[in-house]
């Protein structure tokens, strides 16, 4: 069943490394680590564990090979850990025009509200600005960008803006594939999850 609702998508960017603003330290100990061995299984786990809360569905039909092909394009997966357990993650995609896109960003439900999001976003955005220093095949970054929408988490847009990202475009009702009951969480049948008082009625990325 398709869900019909008004959805606004915002496109945000930084055009100078000086745009990046410092976040407060999280309330729990967090280490941000690059997943150096591309793993379709791990990437799919992160996508479903984070996105199941917000109806991320576009990659659910991907085969193992399609995940592998995506990661082989040079995608960097950065994972925030607390005491060895994933708390959130981000994907960086360096593009040919000296831009870097944050293609996925989010937290596992248990880590929300602990300051992890700001810290993780600061860390991966700093990496995006310095990606040429670690990957000689890339030109120095001129722009870092991402998009979010009104179905994302209730503080997602504010978090991006607090780190210095600016809205440069917005669109209403961008075509998507939102379906009722189509997000299984970290594995099929893992939901439904209990609602939290802080959740907006219809928030997603």
User: What does the pLDDT read at residue 121?
Assistant: 98
Look at residues 76, 87, 151 and name the one whose alpha carbon lies nearest to residue 119.
87
Q: Where are the alpha helices (DSSP H) in the chain?
A: 40-51, 64-72, 116-129, 131-134, 156-162
User: What is the tally of structural domains in the chain?
Assistant: 1
**Residue 193 falls within a domain, yes or no?**
no
Residue 2 lies in a domain: no
* pLDDT of res. 96: 86
Q: What CATH number has the domain bearing residue 104?
A: 3.40.630.30
* pTM greater than 0.75: yes
| Comparison of pLDDT for 5 and 67, the residue scoring more | 67
Cis-peptide, bond into residue 192, ω within 30° of zero = yes
Residue 187 lies in a domain: no
Please report the pLDDT score of residue 192 as a whole number: 47
């Amino acid at each position: 069943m398709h869900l019909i609702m008004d959805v606004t998508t915002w496109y945000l960017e930084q055009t100078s490394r000086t745009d990046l603003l410092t976040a407060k330290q999280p309330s729990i100990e967090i280490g941000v680590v690059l997943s150096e061995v591309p793993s379709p299984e791990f990437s799919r786990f992160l996508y479903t564990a984070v996105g199941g809360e917000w109806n991320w569905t576009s990659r659910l039909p991907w085969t193992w090979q399609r995940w592998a092909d995506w990661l082989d394009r040079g995608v960097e997966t950065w994972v925030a850990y607390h005491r060895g357990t994933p708390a959130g993650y981000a994907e960086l995609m360096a593009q040919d025009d000296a831009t870097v896109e944050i293609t996925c960003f989010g937290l596992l439900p248990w880590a929300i509200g602990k300051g992890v999001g700001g810290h993780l976003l600061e860390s991966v955005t700093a990496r995006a600005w310095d990606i040429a220093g670690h990957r000689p095949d890339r030109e120095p970054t001129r722009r870092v960008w991402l998009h979010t929408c009104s179905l994302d988490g209730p503080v997602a847009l504010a978090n991006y803006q607090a780190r210095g990202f600016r809205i440069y475009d917005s669109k209403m009702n961008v075509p998507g594939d939102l379906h009722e009951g189509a997000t299984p969480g970290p594995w099929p049948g893992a939901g439904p999850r209990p609602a939290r008082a802080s959740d907006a009625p219809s928030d997603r990325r």
